[in-house]
Chain A
Amino acid sequence: MIASVRPAEDPTVDILVRPDPLPEPLTRAIATVARDFNLPHDWMNTEIAAQWLQGLPPTLPEDITWKMYAALRVGLAGRQTLITLKLFAAADRGPTSVHYQDLVRLQPTMEELEEAAVWVRIQDASNDFPTFVDQVIEHVHRDRT
């Protein structure tokens, strides 16, 4: 979970904020869904919330699709944001990670990967990191074909 929404004075404006800690009702709902679908208890988590300190993909604010479920409004991160975050996580965790597999399943184009890489390359200060990012892109290009 990337963000929560803080109500603003202007009801047409959404202010995104760090999602952690999750509200208690949402934590219970996550646990219920995990139980009902045999998912890991932390299938929905706020791990990505740490990225608020470094900065989130610039595409995020404009790349959200809002859906209403009774009183619950859910913003689903769009495709470009997902590709960006998955590319970052895959470069960080390696090609055996679930994030890499998620990235392949998204079937990103080279244009989408390159756009994502611009932001991902500057998220880690180590000299090797841009190389890892390029390697992931190469793997994805190979594995999706």
Chain B
Amino acid sequence: MSIEIVHKIADVATTSAVDACWRQWRALGFPASATQNKEPTSIIDPEALVLLSTEVARHEHRLEDALAWWARTASTLLSVQRASSLLRTFPPSTCEAFSLFAVEAYDAGDRRWKRYVGKGMLAEGRRTKGPGAPTLTSPTALMLRLRAGFGVGVKTDLLTYLLGRRRHGATIKEAHNALFYTAPALRTAATEMALAALIRPDRERPVRYVADLGLWRALAANQEATTLAEQTNAILPVWYDWARLFAFLADVLVWAERAQTDGGTPYILSSRARDLVLPRLSTFTSNQIDVPDPKIYKGEAYLEGFKSTVEAVTHWLTYRL
């Protein structure tokens, strides 16, 4: 019974993760046939995409081509600091596999990845697939587009995040949870950007910062919106916590793989599943993902609850991506 649930969870998580990766890579210009035709509408978190792809590539080897392509054509648009922070929320296997990406980027001339090169080796005679440069004009590529325009850094990412938060804006703490930059760095960035009137603080405590949507809408929206009316009515892409949700998916994949290879009693599997879910309940809540409360399940009964949780997250992800 428990192994059937493990298989089901593995299937759901793998399908969802593979689909998420391909949809986002395709939006950035990598030739890929997505399992669903729906284009992503939310802002791509590039470090989260690279890390999830790194983990999922063990199941879907073609993702290695997408990673190699990105490493060779656009690794400079990634933040090493942010990738490093995000890595800590992903399973250890992601960190090990990530060295291959670092080797590829380093080999292509981006020396910032040196510390992650480790023991990774490039395959002999490997040919990079994909176009010579990524496509950054899609609204969903907003974070990369702003980085390409203004540089990789905390201010660019904070602006992207606040644009993606639309009128809700965000506190420094919320920005820290989403972007993984330190709170002091974000506070300094926000203060200076507010001085420049690029974003505005409200009068509440804690202060919420909001990006001036009118100022940025034309840039953030689809480039095809050329008239003023089109630009004014353009729908801005939304920011979701892909980093934390992708890390959860990666953890689920590793959990299922370990359950299928090492076994373990149903109780042990359920306990490990709780380890993955409990620290992320606040992430699920803040993203309004309705998952069952682990406390209502005793012991191994939680395997069913975990299945429901993974189904809820993957369902949510499919429609929000």
Contact = CB atoms under 8 A, between A and B. Distances in A.
A37 B296 CA distance: 9
Could you say which interface size class chain A belongs to? under 10
Interface string B292-308: 00010011001000000
B249 to A, nearest CB: 23
A36 B298 CA distance: 6
B298 A32 contact: no
B165 interface: no
Nearest to B273: A36
Contacts, number: 14
B274 interface: yes
Tell me whether chain A's interface is mostly helix, strand or loop, or mixed. helix
A32 to B, nearest CB: 6
B287 interface: no
A38 interface: yes
Contacts of A144: none
Tell me whether chain B's interface is mostly helix, strand or loop, or mixed. helix
A37 to B, nearest CB: 5
B270 interface: yes
A38 B271 contact: no
A93 interface: no
Contacts of A32: 271
* Residue from the set B270, B271, B274, B295 with the largest chain A CB neighbour count within 10 Å: B271
B120 to A, nearest CB: 34
A32 B302 CA distance: 14
Contacts of B271: 32, 36
B294 to A, nearest CB: 9
A139 interface: no
A35 interface: yes
A136 B302 CA distance: 40
A35 to B, nearest CB: 7
B284 interface: no
14 contacts: A32-B271, A35-B274, A35-B278, A36-B267, A36-B270, A36-B271, A36-B274, A36-B298, A36-B299, A36-B302, A37-B298, A37-B299, A38-B295, A38-B298
